[in-house]
Each structure stands twice: as C-alpha cells, then as structure tokens.
Structure 1
Amino acid sequence: MGNTSKKLAAKCTLLTKEEPKYVAATFRAASKNSERIREEDLIVSGKLDPVSLEKFWGPQIDPRLAQYLTNFLFGAGQQKSPTVDFNRFAELYVYNVRGTVEERMIVIYNCLGMDYNEDVELPYQLLKEYCESIVSTYMKMLKSSSSKRVRSWQDKGFRASASNVQALGEAVAATVGGDLDSPQHHCTAAQLSKWLQTNVLLRQLAELVYVNLYGINKKPGDESPAPLPPAAPSLLPAADGLEAMPDYPAVIDLSHIVWVNSHLPHKYQHKWRFLFSTNIHGESFSTMTGRIIDQGPSVIIVEDSSGYIFGGFATAAWGFGPNFTGTDEAFLFTCAPKMRVYPATSYNDHYQYLNHHTKTLPNGLLMGGQFQFGGIWVNAEPFGEGASAESCSTFRGYRRLSKEPSFRIRSLEVWGVGDKPALDKDDDERDTSILDTNPEAKAILDMAGRTRHSEGLREDPPL
C-alpha cells in the first residue's frame, strides 16, 4: 500500500487492524490517489450511470444501491457536497458491517436522502426499494462468483430471476410492520430500530455486500483496484447429490434457497442434500418415503398446479409411525407468490407425521395442524393430491400455503439439510439376520424346536 493509502488509513479509527489497507486501496482507486473522491468520479454527465461507481465496483452493484450510496457519501438536495473524505467512505463500510442499530439507522435514512431523526417516519415503499437493492446486489455478486458452491447450483439450472429477487427484498422489508401482508405506509424510528435488531437476514446480506464492495476478501499483496469476485457466500448452502444428473429441472430459485436457508438452525445451513423430486423419481409415495426416511432434518418443497411454491422444515428424520415427531424449530414457509415464514407456536407438537399402508390412521405426510386439517398434507394414495388448511395452530401467523385448500401437486422435492446423519444400523448391518427383524418368526421356530442354521454362520464382529 502506498504512502497515500497509509495516511488515509491512519485518519480513521473505526477500522480494525487488517481493514485499512483494503478500504484505503478501494478509496484510492476511486479518488485517483487523492484524499477526496469527487462526485464526477462516480456520476457521468450529472446523471446516474447505468452501473454507477463502475470505475471500481463494476456490474456487481444494483443501480439503485449506487444512488443510495452517493446519497450517503455526498448528501442530497441543498446539503450535497462535491467531494467526500476517507472517514465518510470508511463509515459506510463500518456501519453496515458491524454498526450499532443507531448507526445502521443513520445509513438507511442518509441513503434514502433523509437526515436521521427519531420523529421522522420513513415511507415503507422507500424502505422496500432499499432492501430490494441490497438483495439485488447480493445476487449480482452470486452470479459473478466463481466459487464451487455457487457453481454447484448454477450449473444445474438454478437462477435468480428479477421477480424472485424483488420478492426476497419485499420479504426482508415486510417484517418492519405488524401485518406481513398489509404493511403500513410509513414506519417510525422505533419500528425501524426493532426491525434492525431482529432482522438477521438483512444484516447478513448487507455485511456480505459491503465486504465484497470494499475488497475485504482480497488476498495479501493484491493491489488491483477492483475487489475480487465474492468469496463463497455463507447464505447459500452447498448443493450435494446433483452431480450425477446432467439436466436437473430446477423448480425453485436461488432467492428461494437463500430465503429458506436463512431461517434454518445455523448447524444445517452449510449444505442441502438432494433426496427426492417427482420430476426425476416419478409420482410415487413409496419411492419418496424410501428416499427420505432416516435422512435427518429436511426441507419439503411443493409447487401446486397454480404455481404457488411452499413447504416446511422438518427437524426430525422422517419415519413411519402413529405419532407426531419433530421439535419447535420446525417451520412452514412460502416462496411464491410471496416469501413468508411461519415459526412454531408451541401450542401443540404436531410438527410432522408420516404413515403408509395403515387401516386406522391417515396415510400420507403431514406438517402442522390436525388430521384432515394440516398445514401441509400430501396424500399417499393417490399420490399427487394435497391440502393446506385455512388455519393451523401449530405455526404462528399461518396463512393457507396453497392457492386452493385442496390442490394437485405439480412438483415435490425433498432436501436433507446439514450433514447426513450416521445411522447405528449401518454399523450392525453385517451382523443382521432376517430373523432379527422378525422376532415373531424367530419365536415360532423356537417353539417348534427348529434349528436356526444362520446363527452359526455369522461373522465374528470386527476387533
């Protein structure tokens, strides 16, 4: 780093020990080695360039976010400044990556062309567009990334369409009000403060965006003016199990994956394991259950014939039985037409149920609610029919997931999340006889005095 960058970095006490050389290098590239950045270095002919800040941030940034950043850096209206110094440039990074709630509120107000004031309400539409610009920039970074994690999805046809990116931004913003489906026209500073404290996804998105924009992921000795392509984004899990399929018919979008994955317990967010798809394995309940039983926690994703996409996170491994299983970490969600999550209420423990070939109990897969009135019900016979009840006390804020109460399944997928669990029976498989799994047959042979020849043919257990 040159003397100019060292002098700049020394002026800012907000940065940690390793950050000044990266932030200063980015500042130096934009300011052409001077101590201030001029607005004309970022804006072409007085108008917002189609890819503003293109001189060193390139196509990674959404044009709306570029405008918001110039509002923060240079001000808006009569208070607009022709230049910005290094401290202000560094503040934009620090406030977004590890700022306090108040500092992050200052960023949002300033980016939207307003001075932070506890008495000033923020128009919800502006906040929604701000969230959309963050999400859009993150997705642009995904597309430009060369990481294996991103490629594992993109190579199989998973994309980030503009409509779904917009829907994810709307979902991030919608939690600022009390009613997710009918947000108010304005939000107060108190609502914004609470929202910033609880909205983990927005904080993660902003951190990833600014770490990449400011080149913090560069390798030591790299003096190139532009940041490197993003490191493997932590919000996107690795895809496991798609390698052998040359043409995977992707139903969900990268935006959907980020949305659902961000709500999973952290220990499961690093990997999604492909287990079942009706588009690949056919419409068979037996095939589905054979592929998902004993696979650990999983995500069920359903698309109905109307194009609604929804599902649930099952915390327990699936298995046949007469009782409900799972824990209060389970949730239901929608991906289309809107992205919403419905967490457990703890009112009851009807999180997941699976049964087949029984005469006295329903045969199918259920998540939430009661028999005949489930949040998600997938019928075993005939497979392809499902239902979503109008109300479900198992999950908070629940709204019917499908367009109609009863629906036809257009596609259904199941993904195991996290690492595949180690099963005890795998270790004992060599020492298992068919009689061990059928004690009644074993007892009948004993009563008849018949010799069980297989008892003497077992291998000695390994040392």
Structure 2
Amino acid sequence: MKIQKLSNMKQFKSWFSRGCFTAAQNIQRLAESLTHELTIHNPLTRRALEVWLQESTLLGQLLMFVSMHLYNISHKEKGGVASEKSGSNLAVDSVTSLTEKEKDRSLIPYCKGLDLIPSYPSILDFNQIAYINAHLPQQYQIEWRFLFSSEIHGESFSTLIGRIVNQGPSVLVLEDSHGYVFGGFAPANWELTPKFYGDDSSFLFSLVPKMRVFPSTGYNQHFQYLNLHQQTLPNGLAMGGQHGYWGLWLDSEYGKGMTSPTCTTFSGYTQMSHSKEFTFRHLEVWGLGQPPPTPQEKGERGPGGGSVLDGNAEGKAMLKMAGKTMHSDGYREPSPN
C-alpha cells in the first residue's frame, strides 16, 4: 500500500482523493487471509506449501507488483507475451514480459462515478478493495463504477433496485449493526424474476472480522435472485442458498437481512453476519465493466411508451444530496398490457 501511494497511480488517486484510507487492522486481516489455508496442515509439508504458492492468486499479484516496483520494470521485453499462470508463478515467470496495458494495472481498480461527490463515506479501505478485486474475473479488475450507497441515496429498496438493474456485473458490500462487513460478486445483470440466475464465477466474501472468499461449489445454480411485489414468493435480493436458507439475503423491507449458518451454493461458506438475521447500517454497490445497453439505447420502449426504470438516476441522486427529496420514486411495475 505504501508503494501504491508512492507510485501515485491514477487508480490510487481516484480512491484517495475521495477519502479512502488504509486501516491497520485490515492490513493484519489481509495478511492472515493469505496464510490461513496453511494452518490446516500439521505438520506443514513441502507439497502443501507448493500448492499454496501456486494457487494463491492474491499473493502472486502482490509479489508481481512489489517486484515491478523494486526493479523499476517499465518496458515491455521484445516479443514478450504475458503468461496465464496463477499465483506466485505469475510473479516469477512473467514479470519481465508484461504488456504495456498490464503494467498500467494496479492492485486496486480505477474508481469511477464519484466526480460530483467530493468525499465519499465508503465501507471499504484499500486492503479490502485489493482483496475483493484480486478474486474477480480479470476483465472486471480494471474499473469499478459507483452505483449505490445508502449514505447518499437513502435507505430505500426500490431506489437500490433502480440503480443496480441493467448495470451488468456488480459487487455488493454491507456492514451489519455489529460491524461485520461482507458481500458478494454478482456476475449477471440484475433483473426482476422469480427464478435464480447467474453463473459459477459468482462468490460471496467476508471482510470483517476475517477476510474470506467463498467460491461456487457447483452443487446448484442459485447464484442470484431479485424479486418484488410478489404474494407467493420472497421479496428481496439474494445470493446463494434457497428460500429461507440464503447465503446472503436483503429483504425488500430495507435494512433487514439474513446469512444462514451453511450454504450449499458456495464452498467453505460460514455465516458472514454476526447473527443469522441481522439489520445493516450501510450498503454500497459497485458496477464492473461497461453496463449493457438500456432499452432506449437499443431502440426499445417499455410498457406505456417508457422504460421500466426511466429517468435520470444521476440527476435524482444529486437532488437528494441537495436536500430535494423525491417523494414518489418507487419501482414501477409494468402495466398488464
């Protein structure tokens, strides 16, 4: 993190200029997360150590980043092509054959969408951002787009939906009333439907009190769920598990949620919140990559001649920040026609 600051890269500046910081306790959590898999081996064998070094993606990224700084690597080796190896092998074998685009990469993504917000009260610090980003598919590690914050947009489930639907892959992060911080990566575009959807690149994660990532087990396809205004099905947002036994559940009654003690959708999963049913005090969502085209951009029109989620969301957010409340801005159901 000191190298990030000394390098003064645009990615670091995009967060630092909005008040992001480095918390000492999260440095310790990040270090512990890198080595916790070794603790299951007693005694530790050479083979176990080799496997850990090969599979520790984040450790590989850290080694590569530090090596590039120490040896001032700034030019592409003639004819060099970056290898696709993971973990520490990436640092050792391909540090001298990186493309110019890859050399511009950082441990943290570029922060986009906070231009009109001079100081952003994010849940995340630099260590937590780096931890989440390292586990994302590579194409989503470059840039995060600000979509929603309860501190800015208010505590409204309909507002949350309006800001995350049709925005492509996303990262959700929340903090419960006991200070536990956790969330999930949703690879599919959020949409209102009574069915589960998504793919096995989805994962849940815990940041406080410990940093852990829970990848897909392949046991089922219950990765994402979003429903509203239904009488016979649960109304809310979910990732993993099943009705009543969610990996992560945010109720449509804003502020209430659930994480079950076990979840068959995600491997190594443990209850992420302080208690199974919880209340949360802060929620934020970040979009990844370019958002898919809106119905208007595709030349389509919704029922009644307008989009289901019409209006300028950014303008509405600025009105809220200025104290001009939108009194009736709930999610509008499509007409039966």
**Higher Cα Rg, which structure:** 1
The alpha carbon displacement at 1:145 in A equals 2.4
1:193 alignment counterpart: 50
- Superposition map of 1:18-167 within 5 A: 139-167=1-29
Q: Which amino acid aligns with 1:191?
A: A
Indicate the structure with greater helix content.
1
* Contact 1:267–1:418 (CA under 8 A) maintained in structure 2: yes
1:348-376 deviation digits (Å, cap 9, x = unpaired): 11101011111111111111101111011
SS for the counterpart of 1:187 is coil
| Alignment partner of 1:419 is 2:311 | no
- Superposition map of 1:237-248 within 5 A: 237-248=109-120
2:250 alignment counterpart: 378
Q: Which amino acid aligns with 2:187?
A: T
If the length of structure 2 is used for normalisation, what is the TM-score?
Answer: 0.80
Paired with 1:198 and 1:422, the residues of 2 have a C-alpha distance of: 36
- Superposition map of 1:286-325 within 5 A: 286-325=158-197
The alpha carbon displacement at 1:211 in A equals 1.2
- Out of 187, 199, 214, the position equivalent to 2:71 is 214
Paired with 1:311 and 1:173, the residues of 2 have a C-alpha distance of: 22
Change (3 A) 1:210 1:328: same
The alpha carbon displacement at 1:272 in A equals 0.6
* Contact 2:241–2:247 (CA under 8 A) maintained in structure 1: yes
- Larger relative contact order (CA 8 Å, sep ≥ 6): 2
1:338 alignment counterpart: 210
SS for the counterpart of 2:2 is helix
Q: Which amino acid aligns with 1:198?
A: E
| Alignment partner of 1:434 is 2:304 | yes
Q: Would you say how many aligned residue pairs link Structure 1 and Structure 2?
A: 285
1:202 alignment counterpart: 59
1:432-455 deviation digits (Å, cap 9, x = unpaired): 7726987864xxxxxxxxxxxxxx
Paired with 2:151 and 2:336, the residues of 1 have a C-alpha distance of: 40
* Contact 1:276–1:292 (CA under 8 A) maintained in structure 2: yes
The alpha carbon displacement at 1:339 in A equals 0.5
* Contact 1:348–1:394 (CA under 8 A) maintained in structure 2: yes
* Contact 2:304–2:335 (CA under 8 A) maintained in structure 1: no
Paired with 1:207 and 1:268, the residues of 2 have a C-alpha distance of: 19
1:258 alignment counterpart: 130
Indicate the structure with greater strand content.
2
The alpha carbon displacement at 1:205 in A equals 0.6
2:267 alignment counterpart: 396
Q: Which amino acid aligns with 2:232?
A: T
1:387 alignment counterpart: 258
* Contact 1:156–1:250 (CA under 8 A) maintained in structure 2: no
| Alignment partner of 1:361 is 2:223 | no
Q: Which amino acid aligns with 1:355?
A: N
SS for the counterpart of 1:207 is helix
Change (3 A) 1:279 1:439: closer
SS for the counterpart of 1:414 is strand
SS for the counterpart of 1:176 is helix
Judge which range, 234-243 or 330-339, deviates more.
Answer: 234-243
Q: Which amino acid aligns with 1:386?
A: G
- Superposition map of 1:164-183 within 5 A: 164-178=26-40
Change (3 A) 1:142 1:233: farther
SS for the counterpart of 2:183 is strand
1:99-134 deviation digits (Å, cap 9, x = unpaired): xxxxxxxxxxxxxxxxxxxxxxxxxxxxxxxxxxxx
Identity, % of aligned positions? 46
SS for the counterpart of 1:360 is coil
Unaligned runs of 5+ in 1: 1-138, 179-183, 220-230, 442-463
